[in-house]
Amino acid sequence: MRRFKGGVHPPECKQLTEEKPIRKADPPKILYIPVSQHIGAPGKPIVAKGDKVDRGQRLTEPAGFVSVPVHSPVSGVVKSIEPFHHPLGKKLDTIIIENDGEERFSSELTAVENWQSLSPKDIIDIAKSAGLAGMGGATFPTHVKLSPPEGKKIDTVILNGAECEPYLTADYRLMLEFPDEIIEGMKMIMYTLGAENGFVAIEDNKPEAVKILSQKLSGSDITVVSLRTKYPQGAEKQLIKALTGREVPSGGLPFDIGAYVQNVGTAKALFDAVALGIPLIERVVTVTGSIVNTPANLLVRLGTQAKELISVCDGTSEPPAKLIAGGPMMGIAQYTDEFPIIKGTSGILILGQKEATVNEPKPCIRCAKCVDVCPMNLVPTELANFAENSDWEKAEDNHILDCIECGSCSFVCPSERNLVQLIKYGKSEVTNIIRSRKQNG
């Protein structure tokens, strides 16, 4: 069995929504479009209050290379541009659009029926103007990933359908309901990069998806691989290791070893952009949790507020105690149900009073369970201590920056220490120190 080291087995909890076909959520009256929905510089708004906009119309100008625009998910009028709740847990500049319900569509993109006639450069440009960013959650701009630096040759493309986060089934439903679009999107990626090897990686708790994609891909040069269900199987570096045996060097990126990983949702979005001429204005979101009355996989316009989706799912059986954007392992707990869906929001998880436990950190008992499960071969307990004591030199020497923030260490810790939280804090401090060191020569 192909595998990576470490990892944990959280309860899967996917049965709530895995049999639920994707259903369209009606676009709401008011939509909230944060200008920053990706990693990198936020775009600059090119519309102003009172402007009439069409569905698919570009709203921002990307600021530099590592930046993508956002588009209007509905036709309507720009109500205002002001700071608003963002799933990252703070207020960020947001374009607020009032939906006129007319669904007028206009786009800079044109549908290209025969995409093989395009050059790789054309596809990269389309990915950028369509606002594509990794939809698995990290939201790294797709066109940047599609343009590896000079001299780096990518030979292997891995389509990520692992969906190792518990509860989430958005990618699974996409694979069942849109396999052709996903496969075309993947072929576009392979064509753009000139890659020979293609893998579709799916965890073995989704046999239906493995079956459908294997049938569709039989006789092609793309292999569907069923991977053991283990968290974080869907993490980029772990997937590459499990599939190719290659390890991304410390501080390196997948292109350093000729690999490219893309989420299935992003592949479908690339297909929509290239073949249908539709920018990224909607995505599938799993709205789930044991207290949700009708958990569902919803096709949602970006900018729809969480509370709208909760009412689409007929509300909850008890007042929600915790609201999480994303899955339970890496998702971010929200302070309000008014936050909007953005490109990287794969799910909304709602926990009741009993499930929403608050941990009480106790002293480390040096059991080393975090060391056993760390998929990056780090020593989480030590890194957390360095962060707690602001010992940044030791943190850096012990490769704190290699942490992928999967949270496996916190998950297993019997002392309930906030290991991954301390390490994330340490990473940002160490990153700042390295940056200022570089600036000072």
Partner 1 sequence: MADNPKFIVTPAPHLKGRYSIPKIMYAVVLALIPELVFATYLFGPRALILTLIAVASAAATEAAIQAIRKTPITALDGSAIITGMLLAFNLPPGVPYWMPVVGAFVGIAIGKQAFG
**Closest distance of CB 327 from partner 1, Å:** 9
**Cβ-count burial of 116 within 10 angstroms (0-12 exposed, 13-18 middle, 19+ buried)?**
exposed
Cβ distance to partner 1 smaller for residue 15 or 215: 15
Measured CA distances, 65 to 39, 143, 150, 263 (Å):
11, 9, 16, 21
**Closest distance of CB 338 from partner 1, Å:** 10
Cβ distance to partner 1 smaller for residue 241 or 322: 322
| Amino acid at the residue 184 | E
**Closest distance of CB 330 from partner 1, Å:** 5
Cβ distance to partner 1 smaller for residue 301 or 369: 369
Binding residues for partner 1, rule: CB under 8 A, are 8, 10-11, 89, 166, 307, 310-311, 315-316, 319-324, 328-337, 349, 351, 356-359, 362-363, 365, 367, 369, 407, 410-416, 418, 420-421, 424
**Closest distance of CB 334 from partner 1, Å:** 6
Q: Are 283 and 340 in contact (CB under 8 A)?
A: no
Cβ distance to partner 1 smaller for residue 129 or 385: 385
**Closest distance of CB 418 from partner 1, Å:** 6
Cβ distance to partner 1 smaller for residue 61 or 318: 318
Q: Are 410 and 231 in contact (CB under 8 A)?
A: no
Residue in the structure block whose two tokens are 């909304």: 348
**Closest distance of CB 419 from partner 1, Å:** 10
Cβ distance to partner 1 smaller for residue 141 or 344: 344
